[in-house]
Amino acid sequence: MTIISGDINKAVDILNDEDIIAIPTETVYGLAGNIYSEKAIRRIFEVKERPLYNPLIVHLHSIIQLDGIVSEIPPAAQLLADAFWPGSLTLILKKKSVIPDIITAGKDTVGVRIPNHPVALSLLRQLEFPLAAPSANPFNRISPTKSSHVENYFKDSIKMVLEGGECKNGLESTIIGFDDEEPVLLRLGSISIEEIESIVGKIKINNKAETAPDAPGMLAKHYSPQTKMYLVDDVAQVLDEHKNKKIGLLTFTDTEVDYTIAHIEVLSESGDLKEAASKLYNTLHKLDAIDLDVIIAQRLPDIGLGKSINDRLERAAK
């Protein structure tokens, strides 16, 4: 039975024993294990039911650790690390041979970041190894932003969820790779593309892959509730198409509708995209738990974090 606890010493013991736990970060909860333990890493893939072709992200407590695992740091990568670490930015860099191929899906690059969460950083500082930590949810399901989400997913599969409260950002990290040292956006996330470009200038976007993705979150279907979901611009039209069903409506701001809706969730009454991002997954968990026939989500303004939220909703609605 999974326990939820704030006991970092217990977490350290489990990880040192080559087992896995769930850990909090400022983005989402992650399913974590020792990057140098094939036993632990295989357990992550097994518990998540994640295909081995989908690489994992390595979590560090300090940029000092970076030299031990990567062989090259492009100048743009250094600028981004200086600007956003600790924080919700993952960089895809050329790896050293010490990083097992199972973590990188056989690629010669590895995703790395320093989480901006006091509990995660405290844990990482007490370990002699970095942690691989994909989101703590079954493959393709809604990411967890509370310890209870993780417990609901993995009641008997993991020993511990390290309690860290609700994740403040609520969306996964933004992922940046490099093509001949030029930055490329591989996954939209908690740091907007506008913020990235304010540091390194205009960048390319390549955030879709059908197979063998260069980074997590690039597959077409991801972050999905079990309830059938639609992402729409015109809510009224789609409501009319489903008027005889039990509908859950997810809107950015308060929306007046002329239909009887079983349940309505508003991401931000004030129209704050950061608040909407922080509430997205928790709201999807709530809607997915109330026996609806369909979830209808309203597309957000395609600016700033709205782009990241729309990206998650598009993949969830596939």
Q: Are 77 and 93 in contact (CB under 8 A)?
A: yes
Query: In the chain, how many domains are there?
Result: 2
Do 243 and 164 belong to one domain? Answer: no
Do 154 and 276 belong to one domain? Answer: no
- Where among 171, 189, 210 does a domain terminate? 171
Residues in Cβ contact with 155 at an 8 Å cutoff, skipping those fewer than 6 apart: 1, 2
Do 76 and 8 belong to one domain? Answer: yes
Token duo for residue 241 = 């198409």
Do 160 and 20 belong to one domain? Answer: yes
pLDDT tens sequence across 231-245: 999 888 888 888 889
What does DSSP assign to residue 139?
A: T
Domain residue limits at 80: 3-171
Residue in 112, 129, 107 with CA at minimum distance from that of residue 38: 129
Do 149 and 18 belong to one domain? Answer: yes
User: Is residue 182 a part of any domain in this protein?
Assistant: no
User: Is residue 23 a part of any domain in this protein?
Assistant: yes
pLDDT for residue 189 is more than 90: yes
Q: Angle at which helices 193-200 and 75-84 pack, to 10 degrees?
A: 130
CATH of the domain at 270: 3.40.50.11030
Give the pLDDT band of residue 246 (cuts 50, 70, 90). very high
Do 99 and 234 belong to one domain? Answer: no
Do 31 and 108 belong to one domain? Answer: yes
pLDDT tens sequence across 68-96: 999 999 999 999 999 999 999 999 999 99
User: Is residue 104 a part of any domain in this protein?
Assistant: yes
pLDDT of residue 243: 83
User: Is residue 183 a part of any domain in this protein?
Assistant: no
pLDDT tens sequence across 252-306: 998 777 667 889 999 999 999 999 999 999 999 999 999 999 999 999 999 999 9
Percentage of the residues of the chain whose pLDDT score is greater than 90: 89
Do 147 and 43 belong to one domain? Answer: yes
What is the pTM for the complete model shown? Answer: 0.96
In angstroms, the CA 22 to CA 57 distance is 14
pLDDT tens sequence across 171-182: 999 999 999 999
Amino acid identity of residue 119, one-letter, is V
